[in-house]
């Protein structure tokens, strides 16, 4: 995929789309109390403003990524942006809770098309490892800036213009992105078309991931022993097993399982799953800690996250260069050590005066580790993958990372006894200790599963030639 002038797809456009998605997730979290007051949410229905988005985003990521391979990444990118923009408008106009929840579900569904397309377009458009690493560095920096900006912007917009403004802000941005994409992205190759679509496989895997996402969404509230959590997890596992069996028997599978023979894909996804858990635990706990223990306002909490976000932006390109120079394995091990150090530092935080002594340095160390994980896992999980399977690889990466976020955070919340209100210092110490333990596992998995040397670049197809049909054969990656 290239731009109309024969060059690479415009990185600024792709990263801007990812920035909007990340900004939206963070900005809505801050506006939840105002939504509760204005629309009359019950205590049980309010979490679905977040849960509906997570359910459809996590459930449809793999299908969205593969759809980009089959029907064209530009098509999925543009269509997803259009739906996301319309859903944001509907959400802003909502007068009853159900309309806002449905709008958030539609946002999640459309984001599941846009996010894998962004990563696939970057990976396919920058086939040389050094160029791709730099592009991933920019991608990681922008995604982090979107989160930090969302926390702060959400507080400012909610307090000055009302909660509806956090939904409306996506509308002009989405329109600009759609217009830019139609002008600057090259048409999809006809070679993306396939004779048959694995509809049974798509239904099985999407249903499985939706059930997993649903269980994880309600686990913190219902408890892991509740039947409403256990049965969706069991049903999801059964459907996933059925999907894996089916994929070995159909001629044109939704997921060519041979992709897992590519060691960088397997290792990168395993680390992405685990590191997504550490990132979600640390971000969630730091947000609550600053509001409940330090008694910060939403705006002050956003400002307090800025040093961490600044470190991510500052370190992104050096991390990309280190990944190219030393290979993903040592860089990921180093990143896990940063996560470990930051988590352990935060276990020593003890009260209202702990920001400068513990929260700030611990957050900065976590920021360095997060930088490594965002950039190097994305690089590893898309390295050695044939161009016609980049959407699949991107969908797998995003799906497993999202499941890691939900599963690890739900488990940590349950074990540490963290609630929306009334959590004490000891509860946070327990959660940060779990984060530290998970960081050790990440270091071990990185050392064992992730390749140590740089793989050869995968040649991108010429702009005038159609893409080849999806292949079951993996690309070898040296250790």
Contacts 24+ apart (CB under 8 A), 34-42: 34/158, 34/162, 34/163, 35/100, 35/163, 38/162, 38/163, 39/94, 39/95, 39/96, 39/97, 39/100, 40/97, 41/97, 42/97
The separation between CA 448 and the C-alpha centre of its own chain, rounded to angstroms, equals: 24
> pTM for this one?
0.77
pLDDT of residue 354: 81
Q: 291: domain range?
A: 262-456
Between CA 312 and CA 366 the distance in angstroms is: 9
Q: What is the maximum alpha-carbon separation in the chain?
A: 64
Does any domain span residue 35?
yes
Sequence-ordered list of residues with C-beta below 8 angstroms from that of 4, at least 6 positions apart, any chain: 183, 184, 185, 186
CA distances in angstroms from 408 to 176, 279, 333, 413, 434, listed in the order given:
36, 10, 20, 9, 9
Does any domain span residue 474?
no
Between CA 120 and CA 360 the distance in angstroms is: 35
Sequence-ordered list of residues with C-beta below 8 angstroms from that of 316, at least 6 positions apart, any chain: 137, 138, 140, 141, 144, 371, 375
Q: How many domains does the chain have?
A: 3
Whether 337 and 207 share a structural domain? no
Whether 2 and 139 share a structural domain? yes
Whether 425 and 310 share a structural domain? yes
Does any domain span residue 471?
no
Whether 79 and 118 share a structural domain? yes
305 and 363 in contact (C-beta within 8 Å)?
yes
Whether 307 and 212 share a structural domain? no
Whether 348 and 435 share a structural domain? yes
pLDDT of residue 190: 52
Does any domain span residue 468?
no
Does any domain span residue 39?
yes
φ/ψ of residue 312, rounded to 5 = -60, -45
pLDDT of residue 422: 55
Q: Return the closest-CA partner of residue 90 out of 170, 181, 29, 175.
A: 170
The separation between CA 148 and the C-alpha centre of its own chain, rounded to angstroms, equals: 15
Whether 212 and 298 share a structural domain? no
Helix (H, G, I), strand (E, B) or coil at 459: coil
Instruction: Return per-residue pLDDT of the chain as tens, 479 residues.
Output: 444 444 577 888 998 898 888 888 777 877 777 888 888 877 567 767 877 887 788 778 888 888 888 888 899 999 999 999 999 999 999 999 999 999 999 998 999 899 889 988 888 788 777 787 788 888 877 777 776 677 677 777 777 888 898 899 899 999 999 999 999 887 876 544 555 667 788 888 888 888 887 887 777 667 777 888 889 999 999 999 999 999 888 887 877 788 888 888 899 999 999 998 888 888 878 877 887 788 887 678 778 887 887 888 788 888 888 888 888 999 999 999 999 999 999 998 887 778 888 899 999 999 899 889 988 898 888 888 887 778 888 888 888 887 787 778 777 877 777 655 556 788 888 889 999 999 999 999 999 988 876 544 444 443 333 333 333 344 334 44
Q: Return the closest-CA partner of residue 445 out of 325, 324, 339, 319.
A: 339
Helix (H, G, I), strand (E, B) or coil at 344: helix
Whether 230 and 285 share a structural domain? no
- Residue by residue, DSSP assigns 170-194 as HHHHHHHHHHHHHHHSPPPPGGG--
Whether 139 and 56 share a structural domain? yes
Does any domain span residue 477?
no
pLDDT of residue 442: 95
What CATH number does the domain containing 54 carry? 1.20.1250.20
| Whole-number CA gyration radius for the chain | 21
Does any domain span residue 462?
no
> Taking CA 276 as the corner, what is the angle to CA 287 and CA 416, rounded to the nearest 5 degrees?
50
Helices (H), 224-359: 227-247, 263-292, 298-326, 328-346
Q: What is the DSSP letter of 466?
A: P
């Amino acid at each position: 995929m290239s731009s109309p002038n024969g060059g690479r797809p415009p990185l600024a456009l792709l990263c801007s789309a990812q920035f909007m998605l990340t900004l939206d997730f963070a900005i809505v979290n801050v506006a939840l109390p105002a939504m509760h007051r204005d629309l009359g949410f019950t205590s049980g229905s309010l979490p679905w403003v977040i849960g509906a988005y997570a359910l459809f985003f996590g459930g449809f990521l793999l299908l969205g990524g593969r759809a980009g391979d089959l029907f064209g990444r530009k098509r999925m990118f543009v269509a997803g942006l259009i739906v996301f923009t319309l859903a944001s408008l509907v959400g802003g106009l909502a007068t009853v809770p159900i309309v806002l929840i449905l709008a958030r579900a539609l946002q999640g569904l459309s984001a599941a098309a846009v996010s894998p397309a962004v990563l696939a377009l970057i990976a396919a458009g920058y086939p040389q490892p050094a160029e791709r690493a730099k592009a991933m560095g920019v991608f990681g920096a922008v995604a982090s800036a979107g989160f930090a900006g969302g926390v702060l912007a959400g507080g400012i917009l909610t307090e000055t213009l009302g909660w509806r403004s956090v939904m409306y802000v996506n509308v002009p941005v989405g329109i600009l992105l759609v217009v830019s994409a139609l002008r600057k992205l090259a048409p999809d190759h006809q070679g993306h078309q396939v004779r048959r679509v694995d509809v049974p496989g798509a239904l099985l895997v999407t249903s499985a991931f939706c059930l997993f996402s649903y269980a994880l969404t309600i686990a913190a509230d219902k408890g892991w022993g509740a039947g409403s959590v256990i049965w969706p997890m069991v049903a999801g596992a059964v459907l996933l097993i059925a999907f894996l069996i089916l994929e070995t028997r159909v001629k044109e599978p939704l997921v060519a399982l041979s992709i897992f023979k590519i060691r960088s894909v397997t290792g990168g996804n395993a680390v992405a799953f685990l590191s997504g858990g550490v990132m979600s635990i640390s971000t969630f706990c730091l947000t609550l800690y600053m509001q409940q223990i330090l008694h910060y306002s939403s705006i002050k909490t956003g400002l307090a996250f800025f040093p961490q976000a600044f470190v991510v932006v500052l370190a992104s390109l050096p991390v990309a260069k280190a990944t190219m120079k030393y290979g993903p394995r040592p860089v990921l091990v180093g990143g896990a050590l940063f996560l470990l150090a930051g988590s352990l530092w935060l276990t020593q935080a003890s009260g209202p005066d702990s920001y400068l002594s513990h929260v700030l340095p611990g957050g900065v160390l976590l920021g360095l580790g997060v930088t490594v994980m965002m950039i190097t896992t994305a690089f590893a999980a898309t390295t050695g993958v044939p161009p016609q399977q980049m959407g699949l690889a991107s969908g797998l990466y995003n799906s497993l990372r999202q499941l890691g976020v939900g599963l690890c955070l739900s488990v940590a919340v349950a074990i540490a006894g963290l609630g929306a209100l009334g959590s004490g210092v000891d509860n946070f110490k327990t959660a940060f200790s779990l984060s530290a333990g998970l960081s050790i596992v990440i270091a071990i998995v990185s050392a064992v599963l992730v390749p140590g040397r740089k793989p050869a670049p995968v040649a991108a197809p010429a702009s005038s030639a159609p893409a080849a049909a999806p292949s079951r054969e993996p690309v070898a990656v040296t250790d």
